[in-house]
A and B are shown apart, each in its own frame.
Chain A
Amino acid sequence: MSVLVLAILFWLAAWALNVWLAGSSVARTRLGKALVPLIFGITVLVLWEGLVRGLNVSFVILPPPSAIAAKIATSLPTLWQDAVQTILKGAIPGFLIGCGSAVLVAIAIDRSPFLQRGLLPIGNFVAALPIVGLAPILVMWFGFDWQSKAAVVVVMVFFPMLVNTVAGLQASERMQRDLMATWGASYWQTLLKLRLPAAMPFLFNGLKIASTLALIGAIVAEFFGSPVYGVGFRISTEVGRLGLDMVWAEIVVAALAGSLLYGIVSLIERWVTFWHPSQRH
């Protein structure tokens, strides 16, 4: 019981510290902005550990963070193999192919207002559909290995990306396009030097949505058949065996990969669209 009391005391102390930090001048610095959420995160972990140990929660309901960390440390090769299969072979190629082809299609239909008016409502509608449902069909077509996972990801990211790119290509202003015309710029020059750069904020918005969808697609597709490794496969089999620490270890891997992918996209965004108001600090 004392573990629980200690954890709750730690929580109260950390909360008080955070309240003080948020009110003080430290909060305006970069350090403060990182420190406050970090303390909050650590508090959650400590409270979790304290609750599980203090109340003797069964291991099959919720393993304590320390057990999960130990599991991660002892099964690094397995986790790495799963991550390579699901993330490097399934999610990333699918993400690149899907986003790349969506941008190309958006540029291709950009010259025809008729096609745009036809494709945009359909694209908008499809982007809101539960595309994950296609996973079993694509697994049937492309087999159990990573190709089917990449295919699911391609279909999932394509429509959100298409809609965002088409919107982005219309983002440049009339004045700017007229200016390009007075300079005698050709269609391709206008596209490369004005409209694509102006579309970048929209493109990155789409890429960010796609980066989280990519992992969802790759993992769900593994529920419908996969080789004997992969994040989704491991989760569904370990849940059946009540190996909850391994499930949590895979969740940590998936979370890290998801945050990393999102972070990389955000970094490139800051580098490419440095001129945009939302990036000025």
Chain B
Amino acid sequence: MNRALPVLTVLLGIIVIWYAAAVWMNSTWVYDQARRAGTTVSFAEMVPQTMNQARPMLPPPHQVGTELWKGLFGQAITSKRSLVYHGFVTFKGTMMGFALGIVAGVLLAMAIVRFRVMDMSVMPWAIISQTIPIVALAPMIITLSSQLGLSGRDVPKAIIAAYLSFFPVLVSMVKGLRAPDQMQLDLLKTYGAGEGETFLKLRLPASMPYFFASLKVAVAASLVGTIVGELPTGAIEGLGARMLIGSQFGEPLIMWAALFAAAILAGLLIVVVGFVERLARRRMGVPG
């Protein structure tokens, strides 16, 4: 309770500020309507009218909540209007990108730790690759894959998500695979262990805590990548596409509901990855 109270207080504060902002931002429309009708509205009459507009500048929390509820539970989950359906499309893309990112990051880290040339020539470019805004590449990756005859958007989305999520894995794995100190390496040498055995029995287990620590960052990055991959040029499925549709048709409620659905998805992913991390740590005998 001691830890929940401050968080709840701040959340309550955010909701109060949100309501105040909704009244302030939506009031323009109410006054505008009143002036056109030739009437005047008092402040007390204006406030209720800001709470239930069809196209509000800023929908108040309860409107977003209703829309989210309708999107999540109001219809069959196979319906094109269901946020569960779109969320699942985004989730699929995120997982594909996440898996691809982990494989790429781990393989690259293994090569970098093994070969000095790789370390010197590839590592600086891996760092530079993250300063390049991937979103600039996103529309091009999508056209490129359709030119190559890959129908559907799963592959380009996964590539964009992987591009964002491989980096945290790479950095942590390089650190982790280098974690064993000279003494431990020497010990394995006295046992007559070859390079492969040293890798399997010392370096790999030693890198596991680093690996799992990087997964949380990687999964969040992968979700951002997937949503960005759904934004440009004509996607119709996924939470990113819902946001784009809401923006193009001037339906703010769709945008807000999709945004909160994405937030819920992000929260679930982080909780699940955190759970896997704890499980793995317990199996490896790390306390806590």
Cα separation A140 to B148 with both chains bound (whole Å) = 36
Cα separation A58 to B223 with both chains bound (whole Å) = 32
CB closest residue in chain A, given B116 = A22
Partner of A236, one of B216, B223, B232: B232
Cα separation A191 to B16 with both chains bound (whole Å) = 32
Known: A19-B117, A129-B263, A220-B135. A141 touches B57 (CB 8 A): yes
Tell me the minimal C-beta distance from B184 to chain A in angstroms.
24
Tell whether, in the assembled complex, residue B266 and residue A219 are in contact, meaning their CB atoms are under 8 Å apart: no
Tell whether, in the assembled complex, residue A27 and residue B116 are in contact, meaning their CB atoms are under 8 Å apart: yes
Q: Which one of A68-76, A99-107, A118-126, A168-176 is at the interface?
A: A118-126
Cα separation A74 to B240 with both chains bound (whole Å) = 35
B109-148 vs A, CB cutoff 8 Å, 1 = contact: the mask equals 0000000110111111100101111111101101110011
Tell me the minimal C-beta distance from A278 to chain B in angstroms.
13
Whether B246 sits at the interface, judged by CB under 8 Å, is yes
Tell me the minimal C-beta distance from A271 to chain B in angstroms.
20
Tell whether, in the assembled complex, residue A247 and residue B144 are in contact, meaning their CB atoms are under 8 Å apart: no
Q: Which one of B81-89, B170-178, B188-196, B252-260 is at the interface?
A: B252-260
Partner of A247, one of B140, B148, B220, B246: B140
Known: A136-B255, A212-B131, A255-B132. A117 touches B120 (CB 8 A): no
Whether B1 sits at the interface, judged by CB under 8 Å, is no
* Consensus secondary structure, chain B interface: helix
Note all chain B residues with C-beta closer than 8 A to A258.
131-133
Tell whether, in the assembled complex, residue B140 and residue A235 are in contact, meaning their CB atoms are under 8 Å apart: yes
Tell me the minimal C-beta distance from B72 to chain A in angstroms.
17
* Consensus secondary structure, chain A interface: helix
Note all chain A residues with C-beta closer than 8 A to B122.
37, 40
Cα separation A259 to B127 with both chains bound (whole Å) = 9
Total contacts A-B at CB 8 Å:
169
Tell whether, in the assembled complex, residue A259 and residue B128 are in contact, meaning their CB atoms are under 8 Å apart: yes
Note all chain B residues with C-beta closer than 8 A to A22.
116-117, 119-121
Partner of A251, one of B120, B121, B137, B246: B137
Tell whether, in the assembled complex, residue B233 and residue A236 are in contact, meaning their CB atoms are under 8 Å apart: yes
Tell me the minimal C-beta distance from B115 to chain A in angstroms.
8
Known: A36-B117, A136-B246. A242 touches B143 (CB 8 A): yes
Tell whether, in the assembled complex, residue A36 and residue B266 are in contact, meaning their CB atoms are under 8 Å apart: no
204-227 of chain A: CB within 8 A of chain B: 211-212, 215-216, 219-220, 223-225
Instruction: Give the total of A residues in contact with B, Cβ under 8 Å.
Output: 65
Cα separation A102 to B86 with both chains bound (whole Å) = 33
Interface bracket on B? 35 or more
Tell whether, in the assembled complex, residue B147 and residue A60 are in contact, meaning their CB atoms are under 8 Å apart: yes
Tell whether, in the assembled complex, residue B266 and residue A130 are in contact, meaning their CB atoms are under 8 Å apart: yes
Cα separation A61 to B139 with both chains bound (whole Å) = 13
Tell me the minimal C-beta distance from A250 to chain B in angstroms.
6
Whether A132 sits at the interface, judged by CB under 8 Å, is yes
Note all chain A residues with C-beta closer than 8 A to B14.
122
Note all chain A residues with C-beta closer than 8 A to B232.
223, 236, 239
Tell whether, in the assembled complex, residue A130 and residue B224 are in contact, meaning their CB atoms are under 8 Å apart: yes
Tell whether, in the assembled complex, residue A132 and residue B247 are in contact, meaning their CB atoms are under 8 Å apart: no
Tell me the minimal C-beta distance from A64 to chain B in angstroms.
15
Cα separation A244 to B10 with both chains bound (whole Å) = 48
Known: A39-B121, A223-B232, A258-B133. A137 touches B255 (CB 8 A): yes
Cα separation A155 to B146 with both chains bound (whole Å) = 33
Tell whether, in the assembled complex, residue B133 and residue A239 are in contact, meaning their CB atoms are under 8 Å apart: no
Tell me the minimal C-beta distance from A138 to chain B in angstroms.
10
Tell whether, in the assembled complex, residue A27 and residue B120 are in contact, meaning their CB atoms are under 8 Å apart: yes
Whether A276 sits at the interface, judged by CB under 8 Å, is no
Partner of A132, one of B119, B148, B227: B227
Note all chain B residues with C-beta closer than 8 A to A130.
223-224, 227, 262-263, 266
CB closest residue in chain A, given B25 = A141
Whether A6 sits at the interface, judged by CB under 8 Å, is no
Tell whether, in the assembled complex, residue A223 and residue B10 are in contact, meaning their CB atoms are under 8 Å apart: no
Most buried by B among A121, A132, A244, A255: A132
Known: A37-B125, A39-B121, A137-B259. A254 touches B7 (CB 8 A): no
Tell me the minimal C-beta distance from B168 to chain A in angstroms.
11
The 28 sampled A-B contact pairs (Cβ below 8 Å) are A18-B117, A33-B120, A37-B123, A37-B124, A117-B6, A118-B7, A121-B7, A132-B224, A132-B227, A133-B239, A133-B258, A133-B262, A134-B259, A136-B255, A141-B57, A212-B130, A216-B228, A219-B135, A225-B247, A235-B136, A236-B139, A239-B140, A244-B140, A250-B136, A251-B140, A255-B132, A255-B133, A259-B132
Binding site for A on B (CB under 8 A): 3, 6-11, 14, 25, 57-58, 116-117, 119-125, 128, 130-137, 139-140, 142-144, 147-148, 216, 220, 223-224, 227-228, 231-233, 239-240, 243-244, 246-247, 250, 252, 255-256, 258-259, 262-263, 266-267, 270
